[in-house]
Structures are given as structure tokens and as C-alpha cells.
Amino acid sequence: MSGSLQSSLETDTILAAQQLIGHLLVRVDGLGRRRSGRIVETEAYTQSDPSSHSYRGPSVRNAPMFEAPGVTYVYLIYGVHHCLNIATAPAGTGEAVLIRALEPVEGIDAMKEKRSVADIAALCSGPGKLCEALEIDRSFNGTFLLEPTSELRIEPGAYRPPAQLERTLRIGLSRPQSERLRFVEHGSRFQSRSQVPRSAVTPADRRR
């Protein structure tokens, strides 16, 4: 894992959401078979954000958000779909980055079989879809993703400078949104299908 990514996970959630793009999310099963995808879309959630699960403080459910940077927070949405988040900021501060979409790289046939989907661009084009394709569930809650031998881990990929990213409103939030905290690799056909208007899309940068 690059030192710059590890450092950003420890200090700046919004920067981490940008720097995670381009890195590889890897799932290894008990037989050593790999399924992986390049991260192409993320969303940042800070503790001061009313939309964040950590906004009201620690609980049994959101405890991994307050753990060391790189720990996973996996939760169910609508009681059906799993969502994978990575804890950021120093331990004790509840912040995380949601992994929203991947570009499939390895184990694509296994992903297609798991999801009963033939279109590669639709395999991991959403947080629930990518968890289903890689078989990520709550058994991975609290996993340290920066451990190189973990069954679920992040491996270094090609860094994407802010000029190659787009910054938009987040998707599917019921509360009013004023910050653009969703980051997408520019032009990626693997991003989640959203209704974000083009007027809400700007080049990414490091500003809060």
C-alpha cells in the first residue's frame, strides 16, 4: 500500500475518497481464487455530516467507523444489500469512505455467475452490486484492508490526480446535500447509474 494513501486514510477523509480511486479491491476465497476490481467511484462521510452513520456518535452498529484507518464498516441497506466502507481519520473519529463502484479486473466469470449479469459494465456499478459480485457481507465487518494477506484487501493501483476525477453530489440521500462528496473516475463506464445532473458535476479537488 502506498504511503500517500495510508497517510490520507489517517488524516483526511475527503482526500482519501479521491486517492482510493485507481486502487484495486481484492477478494480471495478459501481456495486462493481472486476476484478484484479497480475502484472508480467513492463517497466521503465525515462525522460532522448529518448523513453519516457516525453523526450521533458511536454505537454497536457503527463501531468500525471509529476504529483505525483501513478497517471495514459493512452494513445492510434495506435489509438486502451490503455496502462496503473504509474507516478514515484517526481512531476515535467516526469517518469513512463508501466504495460505490468497481471496474472488474479478475474473476469476471465468477462475478457474472454470482450476479446473473452478462454486461461487465453492470457487474459492480453500485455499492450493493460490487458486494454481491465479490461476496462481501457482514462477516468482513472490521477487516483491516491494508493487510496484504487479508481475504479482503486493497492493493496499490495507478494514482488518479484530481484532474482525472469528477466531483458530484452524493446519491440517494434523503437529507439536503450542499457538498459534492462523491468522486468518480472521469468518463468511466463502470460507475453507478445515477441521476446526478451535469450542473452538479465539477472537476475534483482537495477542498472541503
Q: What is the pLDDT of residue 205?
A: 57
* 3-state DSSP percent of the chain in helix, strand and coil, to 5: 25, 25, 50
In Å, how far are 76, 112, 196 from 117, measured between CA atoms? 21, 5, 24
In a domain, 58, yes or no: yes
Q: What's the pLDDT tens digit per position in 105-156?
A: 999 999 999 999 999 999 999 999 999 999 999 999 999 999 999 999 999 9
pLDDT over threshold 90, residue 7: no
Distance CA 149, CA 199 (A): 43
In a domain, 45, yes or no: yes
Q: What is the pLDDT of residue 55?
A: 72
In a domain, 24, yes or no: yes
Q: Are 61 and 53 in contact (CB under 8 A)?
A: yes
The 8-class DSSP code of residue 192 comes to -
In a domain, 72, yes or no: yes
Report residue 80's pLDDT band, with 50, 70 and 90 as the boundaries: confident
Q: What is the pLDDT of residue 176?
A: 52
In a domain, 168, yes or no: yes
Distance CA 64, CA 142 (A): 6
Distance CA 107, CA 206 (A): 34
Residues contacting residue 38 through CB under 8 Å, at least 6 positions apart: 22, 23, 24, 25, 102, 103, 105, 157
Distance CA 193, CA 207 (A): 25
Q: What is the pLDDT of residue 84?
A: 98
In a domain, 208, yes or no: no
Nearest Cα residue to 6 out of 155, 136, 109, 132: 155
Q: What's the pLDDT tens digit per position in 156-184?
A: 988 788 889 999 998 877 555 567 899 99
Enumerate the β-bridge partners of residue 168.
Answer: 182
Residues contacting residue 205 through CB under 8 Å, at least 6 positions apart: 162, 167
If one counts the domains in the chain, the total is: 1
Q: Which residue has the higher pLDDT, 190 or 197?
A: 190
In a domain, 177, yes or no: yes
In a domain, 195, yes or no: yes
32-36, 129-133, 196-200: lowest mean pLDDT where? 196-200
Q: What is the pLDDT of residue 128?
A: 96
Give me the CATH number covering residue 24.
3.10.300.10
Q: Tell me what the mean pLDDT of segment 93-112 comes to.
A: 97
Distance CA 17, CA 123 (A): 21
Name the residue range of residue 155's domain.
3-203
Q: Tell me what the mean pLDDT of segment 52-72 comes to.
A: 88
Q: What is the pLDDT of residue 180?
A: 86
Distance CA 162, CA 147 (A): 26
Report residue 86's pLDDT band, with 50, 70 and 90 as the boundaries: very high
Per DSSP, the residues of 73-84 read EEEEETTTEEEE
